[in-house]
Structure 1
Amino acid sequence: MKIALLGYGRMGKAIEKIATERGHEIVIKADRNTKEYDITTADIAIDFSIPTTAFNNITNCINNGVPVVSGTTGWLEDYSKVVSLCKEKNGAFIYGSNFSVGVNIFFELNDHLAKLMNGLKEYNVSMEEIHHTQKLDAPSGTAISLAEGIINNYDSKNNWTLEHPTSEDIEITAKRIPDVPGTHSIFYNSEIDSITITHEAHSRQGFGLGAVIAAEWLVGKTGIYTMKDVLNIG
């Protein structure tokens, strides 16, 4: 597989190492300073760029018939435009707030626990996410996905917030600490006891491997997918 890496920071370099070890070729390494490249030289693109360039990267791929896997967060106000374009061009696209296999299992666990806790008014749900200081968006895309999973299964919560929560909000605490791959925790607290589930990444290896697996799965397909499709879970 010939891969275009759109975004060549820490994640891009981790993906490069994993992809080459799996026998793939990196034909494009584009970062924010790269002015021109021919995306059609790639069989597939993996986008881990920055929020301000992700939309253009993704639409460029779709307009040129190149399947694209994106793990960039912070651009989702334009997600519906990408979906429309992908359908119009009969393209192939996967977006994931987190490509780690473990995190996607954690998403399912989070959904199931929210269903179990729904209606138990003694408990209040909140969240915490911790990432490295170079992460530009807060809360993380993974935290937003987790919050949405709770909201979809929990009658008394309609929104998430970083500050001044009401009774209908899930409060998310976002921390930025140097050299931390990422931790996400969900808390259900009552006066009697607490229930906590946590996913802690030990390295970026899991994120990179999941993105490469998603790219391998997407080649030759058309449509809009998620990691649930790739991993056949949920």
Structure 2
Amino acid sequence: MKIALVGYGKMGKIIHQIALKRGHDVVATLDETPTLEKLNNPDVVIEFSSPESAFGNIKFCLENKIPVVAGTTGWLEKKPEIEKIALENETGFLYGSNFSLGVNLFFALNEKLAEMMAPFQNDYNCQLEEIHHIHKLDAPSGTAISIAEGIFKHSDYKTWKLDETQGAELGITAIREGEVPGTHSVFYRSEVDEIEIKHTAFNRNGFALGAVIAAEWLPGKVGNFGMKQVLGL
């Protein structure tokens, strides 16, 4: 396939290497606003830019009927508008807060645990914690928000809030330190014990590989998708 990379930071460079290893052509590597000339007629765009740039980048590609795999977080208040644009232009949009196979299995495990804990909400208080490198621009992480949304489906929690909370708000502690690729934990605490599930990324390669696999899956499809559909979870 011909892949264009919009956003060429650390993730973009790793995605580039993995795409080449999997036999694809990387026809563009952009850090600036895309144009049709700069994109160089790709089959799919993989977008890992910044929260400020993501909406405009994705909108431009979809309006020109180029499928987009997007991994940028921190702009999701505009995601419904992007999903509408994808449908109007009969192209494919795939968003992932995290493309790692392990994290997507963790999402499924998290939902199952939330379902199991639902009868015991008066006994256990749920909290989330995420740790990322100091360069990460948004907090909490998109992955943490996805974990929270999985818990909402099976609990009385209605929204999330940074830091520890009580009641209907699910607390998320966001820590920024060193060069941590990403660690996410879910805790259920009572007066007598604690249940914890945790995912620790050792490097960014798992995220990058998942993004390329998503890009291989998306072309030819119309609508809005996530890694659940790609992995059949």
TM range, normalised to the smaller chain? over 0.9
Are positions 1:107 and 2:107 aligned together?
Answer: yes
Are positions 1:173 and 2:173 aligned together?
Answer: yes
Are positions 1:52 and 2:63 aligned together?
Answer: no
Aligned residue pairs, count = 231
Paired residue secondary structure (1:38): helix
Matched residue, 1:204: 204
**Which 5+ residue runs of structure 1 have no aligned equivalent?**
none
**Contact 1:40 1:66 survives alignment (8 Å):** no
Distance 1:212 1:108 in 2: 21
**Which 5+ residue runs of structure 2 have no aligned equivalent?**
none
Matched residue, 2:129: 128
**Contact 2:34 2:60 survives alignment (8 Å):** no
Structure 1 residues 1-12: aligned runs within 5 Å: 1-12=1-12
Matched residue, 1:226: 226
Matched residue, 1:145: 146
How far apart are residue 63 of structure 1 and its match?
Answer: 1.1
Structure 1 residues 73-88: aligned runs within 5 Å: 73-88=73-88
Matched residue, 2:14: 14
Distance 1:196 1:11 in 2: 29
**Contact 1:40 1:64 survives alignment (8 Å):** no
Return the letter of the residue paired with 2:220: G
Are positions 1:160 and 2:160 aligned together?
Answer: yes
Matched residue, 1:91: 91
Distance 2:64 2:38 in 1: 10
TM-score by length of 1: 0.95
**Contact 2:8 2:49 survives alignment (8 Å):** yes
Return the letter of the residue paired with 2:151: I
How far apart are residue 27 of structure 1 and its match?
Answer: 0.9
How far apart are residue 35 of structure 1 and its match?
Answer: 7.0
4+ long deviations beyond 6 Å: none
Paired residue secondary structure (1:203): coil
**Contact 2:61 2:68 survives alignment (8 Å):** yes
How far apart are residue 114 of structure 1 and its match?
Answer: 0.2
How far apart are residue 224 of structure 1 and its match?
Answer: 1.1
Return the letter of the residue paired with 2:2: K
Change in Cα spacing, 1:166 to 1:194, as seen in structure 2 (3 Å) is: closer
Return the letter of the residue paired with 1:111: E
Return the letter of the residue paired with 1:142: T
Matched residue, 1:43: 43
Paired residue secondary structure (1:136): coil
Change in Cα spacing, 1:164 to 1:173, as seen in structure 2 (3 Å) is: closer
Paired residue secondary structure (1:49): coil
Q: Percent identity?
A: 53
Paired residue secondary structure (2:160): strand
**Contact 1:127 1:171 survives alignment (8 Å):** yes
How far apart are residue 40 of structure 1 and its match?
Answer: 5.2
**Contact 1:62 1:85 survives alignment (8 Å):** yes
Distance 1:199 1:11 in 2: 19
Distance 1:17 1:162 in 2: 35
**Contact 2:27 2:39 survives alignment (8 Å):** no
Paired residue secondary structure (2:140): coil
